[in-house]
Amino acid sequence: MKKEKNIGAIVGEYGAFIALLILFVFLSAISPEFRQPSNLLNLLRQASFNGLIAFGMTCVILADGIDLSVGSVFALSAVICAELIMMGMPAIVCICGALVAGTLMGVLSGLLVTKGRLQPFIATLVTMTAYRGLAKILTDAKPISRLAESLTGGSFLFKALGKGNLVPIFAKNIKFPIPAVILLLSFAIFYFMLNKTTYGRKVYATGSNAKCANLVGVDTQKIKISTYAISGFMSALAGLMMISRVNSAQPTLGQSYELDAIAAVALGGTSMSGGRGKISGTVAGVLIIAALNNGLNILGVQSYYQDVIKAIVILVAVLSDRKR
């Protein structure tokens, strides 16, 4: 490997970050409101929901899968949590219950892909539809509101998930949103998991060449199931943060969230056929999408135009990443 890298290689490797930087500089330059620290922290909070889902999605895609069910898992876990609250369970039970449920939903998708030998796209299309239906059945298709008030114990914990702020002792005027903290913590965990552990190696190997990985003793089926489980867990966590923030749960939550998550992963340079990609790229992808949403809103761009602009940015970023 040559030590010196030319500019092309650097752009190829950090393309998403360069795009993110350009976008930030541009938005900051034309909008004083955008560059306010409070707005940037808010942006981070907005990014956290898609971010958590996209981290799980990165694992699934790295192992040569795809998870369309994330939005439905997001909603069904949220609804399960809300139902548990209404049954009078303490916050910790509701939260853990929803997380376990989300994980199991992911495991089911994984089982359909591995043992059921369905293509990931089809398998998760099935679970996506089923989970959405279940969420509607559970709630009778009605929102469940006043969640925090209905909690018998630990409502503080529940509220903190989506609404809370972390205030550093040294800078009392900065409020760091808890969702953003969870996002950063998750990033650290995923980075470690994918880059520093044997599990990470197995995920990459499975996505790169499952046949070869299986022959050297990697249980590729187990690895695949585990990535869907991770995706389910992360979607459930994001769902919990969302209902904590809006203090109500409805079965239509998280619709088409899978698209933003997949877009973030693609923006980050992860190969859709598995085996290649980085979690740091996904972070950049998530922030690009969040900055676009936030910035275009502040600039007062109509939402129809926003979608078109988003599409163009994704296209340009992915095309420029292909030149390697």
Give me the residues that bind another protein (CB under 8 A), please.
1-2, 196-202, 204-205, 208-209, 211-219, 275-276
Look at residue 57 and give its three-state secondary structure: helix
Closer to another protein by CB, 1 or 7: give it: 1
CB nearer another protein, residue 146 or residue 196: 196
Longest dimension (CA), the chain: 63
Distance, C-alpha 67 to centroid of its chain: 11
For residues 159 and 278, which CB has a smaller minimum distance to another protein in the complex?
Answer: 278
Nearest distance from C-beta of residue 215 to another protein, angstroms: 5
* Residues whose CB falls within 8 Å of the CB of residue 170, separated by 6 or more in sequence, listed in order: none
Of the two residues 24 and 204, which places its CB atom closer to another protein in the complex? Answer: 204
Give which of 319, 318, 320, 295 is closest to 306, Cα–Cα: 295
CB of 195 to another protein, least distance (A): 8
With H, G, I as helix, E, B as strand and everything else as coil, classify residue 145.
Answer: strand
Nearer to another protein, 96 or 212 (CB): 212
Cβ at position 220, least distance to another protein in Å: 10
Cα–Cα distance for residue pair 10/14, rounded to 1 Å: 6
d(CA 133, CA 130): 5
